[in-house]
């Protein structure tokens, strides 16, 4: 069991550091998808209503341990304030004089955001001592810690792991909800249990496939990762994404799936184009008839129909990774079709964060039509895979 906010006791007047995941996509300084900010609201609202002095810490993008203006959390502060219905204070550093001043001036029930954690090298350092030193500086600003950034709980980082060892710590509403929802998939899922995997990099999904070959009833493979499977079957994949180093592994997975009675479903047709661009002319070919000079951009219409049939009767569905280049309208049909079927499926449907969650919002689907949409792509995959997530295990009630 994870420690909850209730375990922290009376919060009025208490400085509570909240590790949120406010890593939103930006176009300049304009937020293009505020989903992660909205996901942080239940925990922040609860703490505000309890009279805590709330200090939000987060990263944005991938700065290299030093300040970079394009990765500032400043644009997030205004939107967070709008959603919370109060003016949110902003510190222009993370543990320096601005942070100390802002925290010192915080009143009960008010919220502040500190600047990007990753402007400090200690946040993501591989050196435990360096991470611990930064965590100690953060801990000095608070009296308690709430971990609510599910998208980073699979990382052993200062604000995720070491900070939780220095202050009374608890899981926030988002993390609790994520773990509960994803464990419905991993722990005795209702059957048929169908897994839909896509996206570009097959290396990111191999561990999940390996784990699910003994659990899932069907595994549907689309997106760029499908071409390594097609190559393993001896098909031409043209200029499509291919990880040649994983062909033997994939072939072994296909053999294991057959031996275990797991239905491994690959695309039967593919939308191809001569180049990777939004306005490239699209053609549909059979999966085993791809020209050598073309590139696969999406699953074809027959595959979309087949995948729909394989999902429709599922009692549990886990989906991670788009079926094609959904950012280009011409090549978004496969991803749209999968999202459509999931949105109407009667079973328990989980969208595993990352590009899949972005696709649901970008393509205009009502998020309430899915049982759960994760805020963490990598974290959700590792939890499904059965890995130990440092940011979760440190919050367990029995953690030493």
Which position among 3, 15, 19, 36 bears the catalytic label?
A: 36
181 is in an annotated binding site: no
399 is in an annotated binding site: no
191 is in an annotated binding site: no
356 is in an annotated binding site: yes
235 is in an annotated binding site: no
| Under 8 Å between Cβ of 217 and 263 | yes
Cis peptide preceding 192, ω within 30 of 0: yes
60 is in an annotated binding site: yes
347 is in an annotated binding site: no
What the block records as the tokens of 210 is 């390996």
- Length of the chain, in residues: 400
28 is in an annotated binding site: no
- E strand spans, the chain: 15-19, 26-27, 30-31, 53-57, 89-91, 111-114, 144-147, 169-171, 193-197, 218-221, 263-265, 269-273, 283-286, 295-299, 316-320, 348-351, 372-373
22 is in an annotated binding site: yes
12 is in an annotated binding site: no
CB atoms near residue 9 (< 10 Å): 9
3-state SS, residue 378: helix
218 is catalytic: no
Which position among 354, 376, 377, 391 bears the catalytic label?
A: 354
Which position among 46, 79, 184, 201 bears the catalytic label?
A: 201
Residue 368's contacts (CB-CB under 8 Å, 6 or more residues apart) are none
CA distance 303 to 393: 40
96 is catalytic: no
127 is in an annotated binding site: no
Whether the CA torsion 4, 9, 13, 15 is positive or negative: it is negative
354 is catalytic: yes
| Under 8 Å between Cβ of 31 and 25 | yes
21 is in an annotated binding site: yes
* Axis crossing angle, helix 301-312 with helix 333-344, rounded to the nearest 10: 20
246 is catalytic: no
Report phi then psi at 272, rounded to 5: -120, 160
Known binding-site positions for (2R)-3-phosphoglycerate? 36, 118, 155
Please give the positions annotated as active site: 36, 201, 354, 378
Known binding-site positions? 21-23, 36, 59-62, 118, 155, 205, 296, 327, 353-356
Known binding-site positions for ATP? 205, 296, 327, 353-356
Known binding-site positions for substrate? 21-23, 36, 59-62, 118, 155
């Amino acid at each position: 069991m994870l420690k909850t906010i209730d375990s922290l006791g009376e919060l009025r007047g208490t400085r509570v550091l909240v590790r949120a995941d406010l890593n939103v996509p930006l176009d300049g300084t304009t937020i293009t998808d505020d989903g992660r900010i909205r996901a942080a609201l239940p925990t922040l609202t609860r703490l505000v209503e309890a009279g805590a002095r709330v200090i939000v810490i987060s990263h944005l993008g991938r700065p290299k341990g030093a300040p970079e203006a394009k990765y500032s959390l400043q644009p997030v502060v205004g939107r967070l304030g709008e959603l919370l219905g109060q003016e949110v204070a902003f510190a222009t550093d993370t543990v320096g004089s601005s942070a100390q001043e802002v925290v010192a001036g915080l009143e009960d029930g008010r919220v502040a955001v500190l600047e990007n954690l990753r402007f400090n090298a200690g946040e993501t350092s591989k050196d435990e001592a360096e991470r611990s030193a930064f965590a100690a500086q953060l801990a000095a600003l608070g009296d308690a810690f709430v971990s609510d950034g599910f998208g980073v709980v699979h990382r052993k980082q200062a604000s995720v792991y070491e900070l939780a060892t220095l202050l009374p710590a608890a899981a926030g509403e988002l993390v609790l909800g994520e773990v509960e929802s994803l464990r419905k998939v991993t722990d005795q899922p209702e059957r048929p249990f169908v897994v839909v995997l896509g996206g570009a990099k097959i290396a990111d999904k191999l561990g999940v496939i390996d784990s699910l070959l003994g659990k899932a009833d069907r595994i549907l493979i689309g997106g760029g990762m499908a071409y390594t499977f097609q190559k393993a079957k001896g098909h031409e994949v043209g200029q499509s994404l291919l990880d040649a180093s994983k062909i033997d592994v994939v072939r072994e997975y296909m053999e294991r799936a057959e031996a275990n009675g797991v239905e491994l479903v690959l695309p039967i047709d593919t939308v191809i184009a001569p180049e990777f661009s939004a306005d490239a002319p699209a053609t549909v070919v059979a999966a085993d008839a791809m020209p050598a000079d073309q590139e696969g951009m999406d699953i074809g219409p027959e595959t979309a129909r087949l995948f729909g049939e394989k999902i429709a009767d599922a009692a549990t569905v886990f989906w991670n990774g788009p079926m094609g280049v959904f950012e280009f309208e011409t090549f978004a049909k496969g991803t749209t079709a999968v999202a459509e079927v999931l949105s109407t499926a009667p079973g328990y449907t989980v969208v595993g964060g990352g590009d899949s969650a972005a696709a649901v919002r970008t393509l205009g689907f009502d998020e309430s039509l899915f049982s759960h949409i994760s805020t963490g792509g990598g974290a959700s995959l590792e939890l499904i895979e059965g890995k130990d997530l440092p940011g979760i295990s440190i919050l367990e009630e029995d953690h030493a």
